């Protein structure tokens, strides 16, 4: 009976391995930015992003200009999200607190472009051309 349990418990690992490989190839040469969670606090909206560098080299600095829209489609504000440094092929989680708004009041986030993007010690355009925005929340994310 213990051999049966071992076989069943290891099954998710066998299934998960191809999924991880597929995710890695999907973001090759791209910067994946996923809005993973949005939580309203007392007087702010806390946005949690998972960002993955699909490039072969580290990103030394990455700051995106973001436009936040309310649920009626009106621009609420422009802001900068500083994602810091990103090693290649390793996801990172970054959180940003947007004051004086609720997450329920946000309808869309537009990554307007990279305010700063450095790879290999110099400026790079890959943060704009390779941006792959997604969302796991009701807030739409565009790039």
The pLDDT score that the predictor gives to residue 27 is: 76
- Calpha distance 13→97 (Å, rounded): 35
Q: What is the pLDDT of residue 114?
A: 96
pLDDT tens for the chain, residues 1 to 143: 444 444 444 444 444 443 343 344 477 889 999 999 999 999 999 999 999 999 999 999 999 999 999 999 999 999 999 999 999 999 999 999 999 999 999 999 999 999 999 998 899 999 999 999 999 999 999 99
Residue 25 CB partners (closer than 8 Å, separation 6+): none
| 81-90 per-position pLDDT tens digit | 999 999 999 9
pTM of the model as a whole: 0.80
Please write the tens of the pLDDT for every residue from 90-117. Answer: 999 999 999 999 999 999 999 999 999 9
| Length of the chain as a residue count | 143
Q: Report yes or no: 72 and 107 within 8 Å, Cβ to Cβ.
A: yes
Q: What is 33-69 written as a DSSP string?
A: EEEEEEEE-SSEEEEEEEEEE-SSS-EEEEEEEEEEE
């Amino acid at each position: 009976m213990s051999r049966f349990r071992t076989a069943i418990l290891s099954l998710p690992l066998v299934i998960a391995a191809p999924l991880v490989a597929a995710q890695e190839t999907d973001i090759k040469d791209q910067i994946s930015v996923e809005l993973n969670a949005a939580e309203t606090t007392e007087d702010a909206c806390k946005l949690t992003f998972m960002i993955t560098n699909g490039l072969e080299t580290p990103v030394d600095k990455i700051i995106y200009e973001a436009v936040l829209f309310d649920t009626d489609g009106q621009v609420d504000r422009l802001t900068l999200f500083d994602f810091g440094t990103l090693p290649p092929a390793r996801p990172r989680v970054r959180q940003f607190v947007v004051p004086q708004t609720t997450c329920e009041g946000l309808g869309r986030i537009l990554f307007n472009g990279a305010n700063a993007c450095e790879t290999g010690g110099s400026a790079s355009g890959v943060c704009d051309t390779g941006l792959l925005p997604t969302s796991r929340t009701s807030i739409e994310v565009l790039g």
